[in-house]
Amino acid sequence: MTELDFVLFTVYLLCITYVLNQIVDSFNDEFKIQLDDDDLKQQLADHNLTEILACQLQI
């Protein structure tokens, strides 16, 4: 393996790593979970679970 082959192989691996990282980042943007606190409280009240279950989320 010559020095040029090593440099080309390194650049190739860096490009592949960059592309895979961009793919993972794009999936992170597609999935976003938001909690509707009022809806959760209403559902807990509908099922009589308000006194049994208490949720506190601080994000």
Distance (Å, whole) CA 33 – CA 1: 49
Q: Say if 20 falls within a structural domain.
A: yes
Question: Which carries the bigger pLDDT value, residue 54 or residue 5?
Answer: 5
Q: What is the C-alpha end-to-end distance of the chain, expressed in Å?
A: 52
Q: How confident is the model at residue 44 (pLDDT cuts 50, 70, 90)?
A: confident
Q: Say if 17 falls within a structural domain.
A: yes
Task: Indicate the average pLDDT of the chain.
Answer: 84
Domain span at 34: 3-46
Q: Kind and range of the H or E element at 27?
A: helix 3-30
Q: Say if 54 falls within a structural domain.
A: no
Number of H helices, E strands in the chain: 2, 0
Domain count for the chain: 1
Q: Say if 52 falls within a structural domain.
A: no
Q: Which of 43, 37, 42 is nearest to 56 (CA)?
A: 37
Assess whether pLDDT exceeds 70 at residue 57.
Answer: no
Q: How does pLDDT run across 20-39, given as a tens digit for each residue?
A: 999 988 887 666 778 888 88
Distance (Å, whole) CA 27 – CA 13: 22
